[in-house]
C-alpha cells in the first residue's frame, strides 16, 4: 500500500520529538526530521518509538510486525499461547461471523464476567457510550482494542480515531468496523506518548485502559490527553475506585500490596480529580457500575442468570446515584468527565 490517508500526514506527529512526519511510500515508513522512523502496516501507522520502554510485551511485537504475521498479527495480541492457538483453530476452521481475534479478546477487554464467552462469541457486545450525539465531532478512543467503543461512538455520530498498542487488536477492530460499514481511522500508539498534534480532538474516551498503568504513567497519559484535546474539548475516562465493594475485595485478595505489571490500579476519586484536573480541567464524576468494573446493561442478554441479576442491581444503583450522590464513593467503576480549559 503505497498511498496514505492525508489525515495522518496532517495530524500525526513524532511521539518523541513532536515533529511533523514525511511519508516515504517506497519504504512504507513515516520519518521525522530527527530521523525517527515509524512503519505503516496495511495503511495503519505504527507510532511506537523503540527508545521508549513498553508497558506491555505486545508493543515490541507491534513494532516488529512483518508480512509473515499478516493478516492476524497474533504475536502482538495480549493473550496466552493457548488462547492464540484457539484463535488459530477458529481461523483454520473457516469460522465466519464474529472476528476470531475479538472472540478471544472479549474477556481481556470486557472483564472477567465475560470469561464464559471466550471463543464462543456469536455477536459483538457493543455497549451504549454515555456521550451526547457526536454530530461529526472528532473522538479519540485510547486503548480501543478490538473496537467495541469505536463502534458505539461511530454509531452515535462521532468521527472516530481508534488507538491501541497492539497491532493485532487494531487490525481486528478495522476488520470489524469495515464489516459493519463503518470506516474509521486507526493508529498503533502508546497512551503515554500520543502521536498526534496538539488540539486535534474534540473528545477523548478511554475505558479499562489507564487503570493498568503505573501512577506515573497514568499521569503522563492524562497530560497527553490534555495536550491533544481542543480547548473546550471533553474527556470520558473510566477508572476503578479504591473503595468500591468489589474493588476492595480484589485489593484484599492481593494483600493491599502495590500493584505490579498489568495489574489494576484502584484510584481514590479525590486523587483522580486532582491529577486529571491538573492536566485537563475541572472534573465531574458519574457512576459506571457496581459489583465489578466492566458490567454493561446492553450485554445482560449474553449472561447467565446470576450475572444478569448483578447487572440489573448495578444499573438500579447507578440510577439511584443521580439522586443520592454519595453512592458514587462506593461504586466500583466511575467515569471522569473533564473539559479542557480554554486557551490551555
C-beta neighbour count of 325 within 10 angstroms: 11
pLDDT confidence of residue 66:
61
| 324-334 per-position pLDDT tens digit | 999 999 999 99
pLDDT confidence of residue 67:
63
pLDDT confidence of residue 52:
86
What is the torsion angle, in degrees rounded to the nearest 10, for the CA atoms of residue 81, residue 85, residue 86 and residue 89? 170
pLDDT confidence of residue 344:
42
Q: 205 forms bridges with which residues in the sheet?
A: 141, 236
CA distance 147 to 22: 28
Handedness of CA 287, 291, 294, 298 (dihedral sign): negative
Q: Tell me what the pLDDT averaged over the chain comes to.
A: 94
Instruction: Report the pLDDT averaged over residues 294-300.
Output: 95
Angle (CA) 164-114-237 rounded to 5° is: 45
Which distant-in-sequence residues (6+ apart) come within 8 Å of 109 by Cβ?
A: 145, 146, 148, 208
Which distant-in-sequence residues (6+ apart) come within 8 Å of 193 by Cβ?
A: 15, 16, 49, 52, 224
| 40-86 per-position pLDDT tens digit | 999 999 999 888 888 777 678 888 876 668 889 999 998 999 999 99
| 113-167 per-position pLDDT tens digit | 999 999 999 999 999 999 999 999 999 999 999 999 999 999 999 999 999 999 9
pLDDT confidence of residue 51:
85
pLDDT confidence of residue 341:
85
CA distance 286 to 267: 14
Domains delineated in the chain: 1-45 (no CATH), 190-339 (3.40.50.150)
Amino acid at each position: 500500500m503505497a498511498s496514505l490517508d492525508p489525515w495522518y500526514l496532517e495530524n500525526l506527529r513524532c511521539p518523541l520529538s513532536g515533529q511533523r512526519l514525511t511519508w516515504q511510500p517506497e519504504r512504507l515508513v513515516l520519518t521525522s526530521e530527527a530521523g525517527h522512523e515509524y512503519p505503516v502496516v496495511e495503511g495503519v501507522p505504527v507510532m511506537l518509538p523503540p527508545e521508549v520502554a513498553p508497558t506491555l510485551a505486545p508493543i515490541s511485537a507491534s513494532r516488529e510486525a512483518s508480512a509473515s504475521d499478516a493478516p492476524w498479527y497474533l504475536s502482538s495480541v495480549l493473550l496466552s499461547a493457548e488462547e492464540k492457538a484457539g484463535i488459530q483453530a477458529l481461523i483454520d476452521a473457516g469460522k465466519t461471523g464474529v472476528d476470531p481475534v475479538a472472540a478471544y479478546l472479549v474477556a481481556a477487554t470486557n472483564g472477567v464476567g465475560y470469561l464464559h464467552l471466550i471463543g464462543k462469541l456469536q455477536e459483538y457486545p457493543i455497549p451504549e457510550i454515555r456521550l451526547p450525539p457526536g454530530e461529526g465531532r472528532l473522538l479519540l478512543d485510547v486503548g480501543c482494542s478490538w473496537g467495541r467503543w469505536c463502534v458505539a461512538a461511530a454509531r452515535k455520530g462521532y468521527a472516530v480515531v481508534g488507538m491501541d498498542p497492539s497491532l493485532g487488536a487494531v487490525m481486528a477492530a478495522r476488520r470489524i468496523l469495515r464489516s459493519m460499514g463503518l470506516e474509521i481511522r486507526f493508529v498503533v500508539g502508546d497512551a503515554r506518548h500520543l502521536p498526534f498534534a496538539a488540539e486535534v480532538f474534540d473528545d477523548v474516551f478511554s475505558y479499562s485502559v489507564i487503570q493498568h498503568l503505573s501512577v506515573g504513567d497514568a499521569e503522563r497519559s492524562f497530560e497527553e490527553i490534555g495536550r491533544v484535546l481542543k480547548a473546550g474539548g471533553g474527556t470520558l475516562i473510566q477508572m476503578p475506585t479504591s473503595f468500591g465493594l468489589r474493588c476492595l475485595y480484589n485489593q484484599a485478595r492481593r494483600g493491599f500490596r502495590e500493584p505490579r505489571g498489568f495489574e489494576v490500579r484502584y484510584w481514590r476519586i479525590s486523587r483522580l480529580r486532582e491529577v486529571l484536573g491538573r492536566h485537563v480541567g475541572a472534573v465531574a464524576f458519574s457512576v459506571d457500575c457496581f459489583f465489578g468494573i466492566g458490567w454493561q446493561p446492553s450485554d445482560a442478554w449474553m449472561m447467565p442468570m446470576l450475572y444478569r441479576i448483578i447487572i440489573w442491581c448495578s444499573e438500579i444503583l447507578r440510577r439511584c446515584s443521580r439522586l443520592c450522590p454519595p453512592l458514587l464513593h462506593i461504586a466500583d467503576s466511575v467515569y471522569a468527565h473533564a473539559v479542557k480549559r480554554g486557551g490551555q
